[in-house]
Amino acid sequence: MPEHPSAAKVTDPQPLCPSSELNERGQAFVFDVMHFREPARGFVLRFDGQVVAYLNRCLHVPTEMDWQHGEFLDGDKEFIMCSIHGAAYEPLSGRCIGGPCGKGTLTVLKVEEREGQVYWYPSRDTQPVVFE
């Protein structure tokens, strides 16, 4: 049976925000995604000059991690820290480095910065929200 057209996967880069919106170790840009067809959020932030993006879902309990909307870093702005029980993640890799998140890594979302704009590249598992 042919696949329904809406089942087609989006692979085109999705513009997220202007580069200028992401300050070094500042507030993240949060965006809606469909992760395995379930609504979820991703976030992108700048750390050591690089833009990095992850699914906003802690490895301890699958819940969102920000302290306030878009605030993911600890007080010293060294780690991504979950606001629920304090799991700490290395910002450039997403690897758990302390707290109740074990040996896992946050789900990495591929992003790229070019010509003053930040783009997200959807994957097979994580797709843009389609409004019908």
Residues that bind ligand FES (rule: CB under 6 A) add up to a total of 12
Check residue 85 for interaction with ligand FES (CB under 6 A): yes
Tokens of 66: 């920000």
41 touches 31 (CB < 8 A): yes
Cα end-to-end span (Å), the chain: 23
**104 interacts with ligand FES by CB under 6 A:** no
Smallest distance from ligand FES to CB 60, Å: 3
Residues 6+ apart with CB under 8 A from 68: none
- Check binding of 99 to ligand FES (CB under 6 A): yes
Binding mask 36-75 for ligand FES (x = CB under 6 A): ----------------------x-xx-x-x----------
For 92-109, letters b (16+ CB in 10 Å) and e give: eebebeebebeeeebbeb
Return residues touching ligand FES (CB under 6 A). Answer: 58, 60-61, 63, 65, 82, 84-87, 99-100
